[in-house]
Amino acid sequence: MAPAVAFAARLDTPEPEYRVLPHNIEAEQALLGAILVNNDAFYRVSDFLLPDHFFEPIHQRVFELTASLIRAGKIATPITLKTFVNDLELGDITPSQYLARLAAEATTVINAGDYGRTIYDLAIRRQLIGVGENLVNIAYDAPVEMAPREQIEDAERRLYELAEKGRYEGGFQKFDGALRLAIDMAVSAYQRDGGLSGISTGLRDVDRSMGGLQRSDLLVLAGRPAMGKTSLATNIAFNIAKAWRGERQEDGSFKSVDGGVVGFFSLEMSSDQLATRIVAEQSGISSYKIRQGRITEADFARITDVAAQIEKLPLYIDQTGGISIAQLMARARRLKRQKGLDVLFIDYLQLLAGSGKAGQNRVQELTEITTSLKALAKELNVPIVALSQLSRKVEERDDKRPQLADLRESGSIEQDADVVMFVYREEYYLKGKEPRSGTEEHNKWQIEMEAAHGLAELIIGKQRHGPTGTVGLQFDAEVTRFSNRADESRLPECAGSEKDKRSFEPSGIVSLQPNSS
């Protein structure tokens, strides 16, 4: 028997009747030996391999000590390690002899990465077995208060955490790979309807200023109550789902070519309330008339037609209230796996719960939520649109237009978001300022109300890859529907002097400034 094999046989325990956890003692010995002979081998595995990934406890200790010495700028050899391993119990050989044997039977530096990945993969398999055993044991002896759904979500969370840890392809990559992705995105934008690099919102001027919703972006849509945040979100979600067009791939799955599969977490409204709102938006019949039954036979026929169209759309709603960020992430991953997912909406951020760690205040909790959502957007490679409330500081100013500083509870929303947008309607605030009828102020107020009627602004307060500024939208309060503002440049000219005509930017874009960041 070869010395290395004989030595491995002495270390490895005889195989019992039950199955032994997957491991490879010889690979562990070969890698440790390579590092002890040439410390450069350590840097081929240091970015993904940890002491816990070794199966043999002795090897865990040796790798940990070796890593500590190398990171301290010292040389790790059998001689320099000798004083740190004298307490190891190795049977009929001493620790010094064992280290010398490792170095003598070492692999080359070139193979170090392959051996490291073998050890890593086996460690992940052992952790998978642990998750499975834990799942079975809890299912047998689950506490009364623990619902099966909670166990499923916990198992999904553990599996996805393991999937994230089970990667060693990270780190630096040659720039030509990133360049190819950028060129592919440009080609897709050229070929896609509307010429957008992202997913179209169905609102012309919003798309023009943002290039659509970009994959892996976290977008925050904020506003005070009654501004229409949820309405704008449902409008965009419906537009995306309605525009969906997919191509079947070789594996039988569908790839979205236009539009997309939409997931909508409605933490505030029930699914039937949300459905009623969408039906009202698309049928042109106000939701309060639908709820009160104040509709004609023709209205009912129109509602039925719209409902039949919506039913076929790839739009999925989760109405569960008070869920944690971990539960949301698990459900989003499940939707991506089972139905596909191109855009995710969350209504709204402040109704999400954190992980519930001890000593965590609300600011820390919201920081955890926004950081997790940004990580989820990158993991699933989809844009996530999260709605957010604004603080009451807005109401204290004369100009009620929101600013980044108005975001509630945490600066992490502004920091983690790629895009921050605010919904603002001047008409809402003017309604509450009506002066006494018949006065000069009342006449002036009526003129201002007429000018603001049906108009809304989408203020882009932050955008990593585009301009900031304000986009004009049309808002129909009767059916809570946002739409493109009329292009004044295409309307017939009104009679009167140039001085009397209202001045508009083309396509309703009020102003856009280049991003200074």
Q: Are residues 137 and 270 in the same domain?
A: no
288 and 220, same structural domain?
Answer: yes
**Per-residue confidence in pLDDT tens, the chain, 517 aa:** 445 444 555 555 555 556 788 899 888 988 998 898 888 888 888 878 888 899 988 899 889 889 888 888 888 888 888 888 877 777 778 888 888 888 887 777 788 888 888 998 899 899 888 888 888 888 888 777 777 777 777 777 777 767 655 555 555 555 665 566 666 666 665 555 556 778 888 888 888 888 888 888 899 998 888 788 888 898 899 889 888 887 776 666 677 777 888 999 888 888 777 888 888 877 877 777 777 777 788 888 888 888 888 888 888 888 887 788 888 888 888 888 888 889 999 987 888 887 666 556 777 888 888 888 898 898 888 999 999 888 787 777 777 788 887 776 656 787 888 898 988 888 877 776 777 777 777 778 778 777 778 788 888 888 888 788 888 888 887 777 888 877 654 444 544 434 333 333 444 544 555 555 4
H/E run at residue 408:
none
Whether residue 173 is contained in a domain is answered as no
Residues 158 and 190 in one domain: no
Give the residue numbers spanning the domain of 67.
3-165
User: Is 291 inside a domain boundary?
Assistant: yes
**Distant-in-sequence, close-in-space partners of 71: CB < 8 Å, separation ≥ 6:** none
In this structure, what token pair is assigned to residue 379? 């993991």
Tell me if 172 is assigned to some domain. Answer: no
Residue 170 lies in a domain: no
Residue ranges with strand state E in 191-261: 218-223, 245-248, 254-258
Quick check: is 94 in a domain?
A: yes
Residue 431 within any structural domain of the chain = yes
Tell me, yes or no, whether 191 and 290 share the same domain.
yes
d(CA 96, CA 94): 5
Residue 344: count other Cβ atoms within 10 Å of its Cβ: 27
In 252-296, alpha helices (H): 271-283, 287-292
- Residues 11, 119, single domain; the answer is yes
Q: Say whether both 130 and 244 belong to one domain.
A: no
User: Do both 501 and 425 map to the same domain?
Assistant: yes
C-alpha distances in angstroms, 364 versus 327, 329, 355, 418?
A: 18, 18, 10, 20
Out of 136, 165, 194, a domain closes at: 165
Residues 156 and 189 in one domain: no
Of the three residues 165, 188, 223, the one that is the final residue of a domain is 165
Closest CA to 31 of 85, 73, 76: 76
For residues 117 and 224, membership in a common domain is answered with no
Together in a domain, 364 and 462: yes
Phi, psi of 462 (to 5 degrees): -150, 140
Q: Are residues 161 and 184 in the same domain?
A: no
Q: How far apart are CA 159 and CA 130, in angstroms?
A: 11
For residue 485, tell me if it sits in a domain.
yes
What CATH number is attached to the domain comprising 80?
A: 1.10.860.10
Does a structural domain hold residue 222? yes
- Who contacts 290 (Cβ-Cβ below 8 Å, separation ≥6)? 276, 279, 280, 303
Measured between alpha carbons, how far is 142 from 265 in angstroms, rounded to an integer? 29
Q: What is the total count of domains within the chain?
A: 2
64 plus 111 within the same structural domain:
yes
Q: What is the CATH number of the domain that holds 376?
A: 3.40.50.300
Q: What is the pTM of this model?
A: 0.65
- The H or E element that residue 350 is part of is none
C-beta separation of 483 from 467 below 8 A: no
